[in-house]
Homo-oligomer: A and B are copies of this chain.
Amino acid sequence: MKRIRLTVAYDGTGYHGWQIQDNAVTVEEVLAKALFALLGKSVELIGASRTDAGVHALGNVAVFDTETRIPPEKIAIALNRFLPEDIRVLKSEETPFDFHPRYCDSEKTYEYRIVNTPIQIPLLQRYSHHVYHDLNVSDMQRAAKMLMGTHDFSAFCSAGSQVKSKVRTIYELDIRQNPIVSVNGGREIVLRVRGNGFLYNMVRIIAGTLIEVGIGRRSADSVEEAVRTGERSKAGPTAPAQGLVLVGIEYR
C-alpha cells in the first residue's frame, strides 16, 4: 500500500466546486471516477482545498491510498487519459501515510484577477472579474496592508462556516497591475494572497472589499474597522468566483 499525492489543476467554470455533492458535477467526483477507471477499484480521495463553484485551481492537492503497481510518478499521465481537458493532474508522487492535505501545516496562495477596462475583453472574461470604474490601486494597496498579519477575520467570512477559530495569518497580500494592450487600454489587476489558511469565501470578500476601496465607495481605513469589529456588514461584497485561482499549497 502506498499513499499518493496529486497536484490537480482545473478550470472551475463547469464545476460546482471541488467537493462531491448530489445533483451537481464536481471536480472530486470526476477525479474519483477517473481513478476508478484507472485502478479498477474505488479509492477514498482527500482534497486539500474545497474550492467553491466556479473557482479555478493551478495547484490543488489530493491524496489517496492504493496498491497499484503503476509507478507513483506515472499515475499523473495515466490518469489524464480518463479526465476531461478542463481537469489535469500535473504531478503524482508517493507521500508518507501521515501526510494529510487538510490537517498538515500549510501555506496557500490564491490569486484574484480583475480586468479594469471600459469593456470586458472576451479572452480574459472566463478567468477574471470585470470592473469598469477606474480603480485607485494605491488606495487598494494601502487597505491591503491592514489585512496583513494575524487577525480575527470574522468580517471576511460568509455565513455557514463552522470553524471554531477565525484567526488566520496573511503573510503576503500583493497587488500588481499589468497594462492590457487593446484599443481601449486599461489594465489587469492581480491580487495575490498567501496565508496559513482561509475562511469560507475569505479571499473573495477581501477582493470585493478592496475593489470598493479602489472605486472610492469605502475608505482604506474602513478595512481596519471591519477587521477590528469582526462584523461581516463592515466588509465589502463577495467578489465573483470566476476571478479566483488557487495557485498552490506548500506544506512545511
Give me the interface of A with B, judged by CB distance under 8 Å.
Answer: 7, 9-11, 56, 58-59, 76-77, 80, 85-91, 119-123, 125-127, 181-184, 245, 247-248
What distance in Å separates the Cβ of A131 from its nearest Cβ neighbour in chain B?
15
Contact B77 A183 (CB under 8 A): no
What distance in Å separates the Cβ of A58 from its nearest Cβ neighbour in chain B?
6
Secondary structure class of chain A's binding surface, majority of residues = mixed
| Among candidates B58, B77, B123, residue contacting A245 with C-beta atoms closer than 8 Å | B123
Contact B88 A121 (CB under 8 A): yes
| Chain B residues within an 8 Å CB radius of A76 | 119
Contact A11 B88 (CB under 8 A): no
Contacts known (A121-B9, A121-B58); A183 close to B126, Cβ less than 8 A = no
| Chain B residues within an 8 Å CB radius of A245 | 123
> What are 24 residue pairs bridging A and B, where the CB atoms are less than 8 Å apart in the complex?
A9-B121, A9-B123, A10-B122, A11-B123, A11-B126, A56-B123, A59-B182, A80-B119, A85-B125, A86-B122, A86-B125, A87-B122, A88-B121, A88-B122, A90-B119, A90-B182, A90-B183, A91-B183, A91-B184, A123-B127, A123-B245, A126-B126, A182-B248, A183-B248
